[in-house]
Amino acid sequence: MTRTAVLAGIGSWLPPQLVTNEQLEGRLDTTDAWIRSRTGVHRRYIAPDDMETSDLAVGAGARALKSSGDAHVDTVIVATTTPDRPCPGTAPTVAARLGLGHAAAYDVSAVCTGFLYALASAAGLIASGVSRRALVIGAETFSRIVDPDDRTTSVIFGDGAGAVVLRGGDPDEPGALGPCVLGSDGEGRDLITVAPPGPRAAAGAEPSYFTMQGKRVFWLAVQRMGECAQDVLGQAGWDTADVDHLVSHQANQRITLRLADEIGIPQERSVTNIADVGNTAGASIPLALDQAHAKGTFKTGDRLLLTAFGGGLTWGATALTWPDIAR
Ligand code: UT7
């Protein structure tokens, strides 16, 4: 029998080091006023040198498992742009450290859309019977690939992780994942990129860091997220008025609000946490979901529309109803 993936647990984890805009003012040619007004970011968390993406993923994953009331899953998917190593994937390490035995474990690389790609993969594994319970984590240490001296990127991004547990269930129960739309356009790969050799260049070579053509990306993000969100609404049979919460990738507060206008959803229904954590790339949607859940923003049965856009270029959207999970 085909099973629908149902949200059963959620958690997030932030590294300990808080960096405020005022601290950045001290070492970059920028101002708190510029960062707040152009991006909406007030502060972000940065992983110390001895902390890896897997450490953040384990923190978020453990909380999501605890919240689900069952410490066992048979599948672990980690969406990340910043894996611990180029090889192997980060997910097997995370599964081992969480005591998940020989669970299937792999990474998904779709930059800021990674979590939605991972969620869709897990939902497919559950629907086909390959997996019964899956842990889906978005975890990033973006501070490792951003040039700390580049004011155009280092003020925007932060580190963090968010995770959800999915189980098999019925399409009409609270927590059920609805339709999912994913897309990509590799013609735009240079718009958001880390060109070779990367930040870990061999000794003597000049390292290269993350770059983004901000203005182009801004408008493409609004357009693509708007299109795929509308597509999901159509497939779900929902009207914009049915959407209780829009949870979009926290790229920039101005993008988030513009997107709500574009889709026709009141801005106050848009969940935002970019002020407190910055743009955490593949971690941003589960982190925003968990923080909003902790604040009591969602009621059981509320309808959520999720959408993301990122490097690749990649984009995606899905819909779900909110389950009754403990806070
Ligand atoms: O997460 C993946 C997807 N990412 C996104 O969706 C991000 C999309 N893009 C953006 O969020 C915005 O384009 C940025 C936040 C990256 C930039 O905002 P903007 O309003 O597009 O600014 P801009 O790049 O057009 O720069 C405006 C001015 C420039 O100065 P001039 O040329 O007008 O003299 C920049 O040099 O602001 C300057 N600037 C800064 N000034 C102070 C750029 N960064 C800074 C800074 N502080 N940190």
Are 93 and 217 in a shared domain? Answer: no
Residues 214 and 305 occupy one common structural domain: yes
CA dihedral (213, 14, 114, 198) positive or negative? positive
Point out the ligand 1 atom lying closest to the alpha carbon of residue 39. Answer: 15
**Percentage of residues in the chain with pLDDT exceeding 70?**
99
Q: Per-residue pLDDT tens for 65-124?
A: 999 999 999 999 999 999 999 999 999 999 999 999 999 999 999 999 999 999 999 999
DSSP assignment letter at 160 = E
Has residue 73 been placed in a domain? yes
pLDDT of residue 169: 97
Residue 99 domain-assigned? yes
Reply yes or no on whether the pLDDT at 20 is more than 70.
Answer: yes
Instruction: Tell me: do 161 and 253 sit in the same domain.
Output: no
Could you tell me how far CA 3 lies from the centroid of its own chain?
25
Nearest CA to ligand 1 atom 12: 214
The C-alpha angle with vertex 322 and arms to 68 and 226, in degrees rounded to 5, equals 125
317 Cβ closer than 6 Å to some ligand 1 atom: no
Residue at 78 is within a domain: yes
193 lines ligand 1 (CB under 6 A): no
Instruction: Find the CATH number of the domain harbouring 55.
Output: 3.40.47.10
Q: Express each pLDDT in 194-215 by its tens digit.
A: 999 999 888 889 999 999 999 9
**Is the CB of 36 inside a 6 Å radius of any atom of ligand 1?**
no
145 sits in which H/E element: none
Please tell me whether residues 204 and 131 are part of one structural domain. Answer: no
pLDDT of 1 strictly over 90: no
Asked whether residue 2 carries a pLDDT value surpassing 80, the answer given is no
Q: Does 145 share its domain with 165?
A: yes
Task: Report the pLDDT value the prediction gives residue 326, as an integer from 0 to 100.
Answer: 87
Q: 136 by DSSP, 3-state: which? A: strand
| Residue 206 CB partners (closer than 8 Å, separation 6+) | none
Signed CA dihedral, 18, 20, 22, 25: sign only: positive
Domain count, the chain: 2
Q: Report the nearest atom of ligand 1 relative to the CA of 30.
A: 47
CB 165 within 8 A of CB 172: no
- Three-state DSSP at 157 gives strand
Say yes or no to pLDDT of 35 above 70.
yes
Q: Is position 326 within any domain?
A: no
Q: Could you give the CA distance from residue 262 to residue 221 in angstroms, rounded to a whole number?
A: 11
For residues 202 and 165, membership in a common domain is answered with no
Q: Which two tokens stand for residue 242?
A: 């049915």
Residue 327, in any domain of the structure: no
Asked if omega into 86 is within 30° of 0 (cis), the reply is no
255 CA to middle of ligand 1, Å?
12
- Tell me if 81 is assigned to some domain: yes
Nearest-CA residue for ligand 1 atom 14 is: 214
Is any ligand 1 atom within 6 A of the Cβ of residue 166? no
Candidates 113, 150, 152, 314: which one to mutate for ligand 1, based on the most atoms within 8 Å of Cβ?
A: 152
Q: Is the pLDDT of residue 327 over 90?
A: no
Q: Which of 38, 211, 217 to mutate to test the pocket of ligand 1 (most atoms within 8 A of CB)?
A: 38
Query: Does residue 255's CB lie within 6 angstroms of at least one atom of ligand 1?
Result: yes
Question: Residues 116, 33: contact at Cβ < 8 Å?
Answer: no
Q: Which atom of ligand 1 is nearest to the CA of 284?
A: 1
From the CB of 81, is ligand 1 less than 6 Å away?
no
11 within domain boundaries = yes
30 touches ligand 1 (CB under 6 Å): yes
Q: Which residues, other chains included, contact 4 with Cβ-Cβ below 8 Å and sequence gap of 6+?
A: 123, 126, 127, 168, 169, 170, 171, 176, 177
Whole-angstrom distance, CA of residue 36 vs CA of residue 273: 13
pLDDT confidence tier of residue 26, bands split at 50, 70 and 90: confident
**Domain match, 194 and 142 both:** no
Pair (140, 187) in one structural domain: no
Answer yes or no: is the C-beta of 188 below 6 A from any ligand 1 atom. Answer: no
159 and 96 part of one domain: yes
Report the separation in Å between the CA atom of 253 and the middle of ligand 1, taken as the mean of its atom positions.
13
Mean pLDDT, all residues of the chain: 97
Closest of 35, 96, 45 to residue 287, by C-alpha:
45
**In a domain? residue 160:** yes
Residue with CA at minimum distance from ligand 1 atom 27: 38
- Residue 214 Cα to ligand 1 midpoint, Å, equals 6
One domain for residues 14 and 115: yes
pLDDT at position 115, please? Answer: 98
Residue 175: per-residue pLDDT: 98
> Residue 114's pLDDT is what?
98
Domain endpoint, select from 118, 134, 169 = 169
Residues 135 and 278 in one domain: no
Picking from 119, 142, 169, the residue at the C-terminal end of a domain is: 169
Domain that holds residue 185: 177-321
Same domain, 274 and 213: yes
Tell me which of 115, 145, 169 is where a domain ends: 169
Catalytic residues: 112, 249, 279
